[in-house]
Amino acid sequence: MSRLDRTSLVAGLALIVLGVLFLLDRTGTLDVRFGALWPLLTGAAGAILLTAGLDDRRRG
């Protein structure tokens, strides 16, 4: 694994951030309305998939 996989890195970081937000919401430290976050999560997933698709086209 000599080359850094950007898609995996971004997806991993997104999951960590999402997990921290869930944790802070559950502990009462941060009041997050996840209804407002769904468009952001959908956009982030789309950006990750788009990046992966464009990266595959450059390699192949």
Nearest to 7 by CA among 42, 50, 57: 50
Q: How confident is the model at residue 57 (pLDDT cuts 50, 70, 90)?
A: low
Q: Which two tokens stand for residue 36?
A: 């407002």
Report if residue 23 sits inside a domain.
yes
- Stated as kind and residue range, the H or E segment containing 45 is helix 34-59
Compute the distance between CA of residue 25 and CA of residue 28 in angstroms, rounded to an integer.
Answer: 5
Q: What is the pLDDT of residues 16-52, one digit of tens each?
A: 888 888 888 889 898 877 777 777 777 887 887 777 7
Report if residue 34 sits inside a domain.
yes
Compute the distance between CA of residue 21 and CA of residue 30 in angstroms, rounded to an integer.
Answer: 8
Domain that holds residue 14: 6-59
Report if residue 1 sits inside a domain.
no
Report if residue 27 sits inside a domain.
yes
What's the total number of domains in the chain?
Answer: 1
